[in-house]
């Protein structure tokens, strides 16, 4: 199982770009990298997923270097509503991944 390491917490001012890096040194060939966001009193919500290189959607970008041993979730111009916990998942099935404690992002006005 690929173990992930991500910062426990981060602070950012509104309008800044936020980058959250997740380390996964023992990622396997068929593993995907997936990020979820969770607000208080809600279930997690899918943000973005990738396998290699760069993926971008309307919410975020995901950067994955060639060795795939880490990945960076990039949130452009964060607002107060982006305050949440962000989870990095690495694996091939949800049965075998762990959410961990995630990264608690606090956006400051």
Partner 1 sequence: GAGVSQSPRYKVAKRGQDVALRCDPISGHVSLFWYQQALGQGPEFLTYFQNEAQLDKSGLPSDRFFAERPEGSVSTLKIQRTQQEDSAVYLCASSLRRDSLNNEQFFGPGTRLTVL
Distance separating the N- and C-terminal Cα atoms of the chain:
39
Q: Is 41 in the site for partner 1 (CB under 8 A)?
A: yes
- Is 20 or 89 the residue whose CB approaches partner 1 more closely? 89
Main-chain dihedrals φ then ψ at residue 25, nearest 5 degrees: -65, -30
Q: Which of 69, 98, 106, 108 binds partner 1 (CB under 8 A)?
A: 98
Q: Is 99 in the site for partner 1 (CB under 8 A)?
A: yes
Q: Is 32 in the site for partner 1 (CB under 8 A)?
A: yes
Q: Which residue has the tokens 């173990």?
A: 3
Q: Is 35 in the site for partner 1 (CB under 8 A)?
A: no
Contacts of 33 (CB under 8 A, 6+ apart): 22, 24, 27, 49, 50, 51, 62, 64, 68, 71, 88, 89, 90
Q: Is 91 in the site for partner 1 (CB under 8 A)?
A: yes
Site residues for partner 1 per CB under 8 A: 31-32, 34, 36, 41-46, 49, 85, 87, 89, 91-95, 97-102
């Amino acid at each position: 199982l690929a173990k992930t390491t991500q910062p426990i917490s981060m602070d950012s001012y509104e309008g800044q770009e936020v980058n959250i890096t997740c380390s996964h040194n023992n990622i396997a060939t068929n593993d995907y990298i997936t990020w979820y966001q969770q607000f208080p009193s809600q279930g997690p919500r899918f943000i973005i997923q990738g396998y290699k290189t760069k993926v971008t959607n309307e919410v975020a970008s995901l950067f994955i270097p060639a060795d795939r041993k880490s990945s960076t979730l990039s949130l452009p111009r964060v607002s107060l509503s982006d305050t949440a916990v962000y989870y990095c998942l690495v694996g091939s099935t949800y049965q075998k991944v762990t959410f961990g404690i995630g990264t608690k992002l606090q956006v400051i006005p």
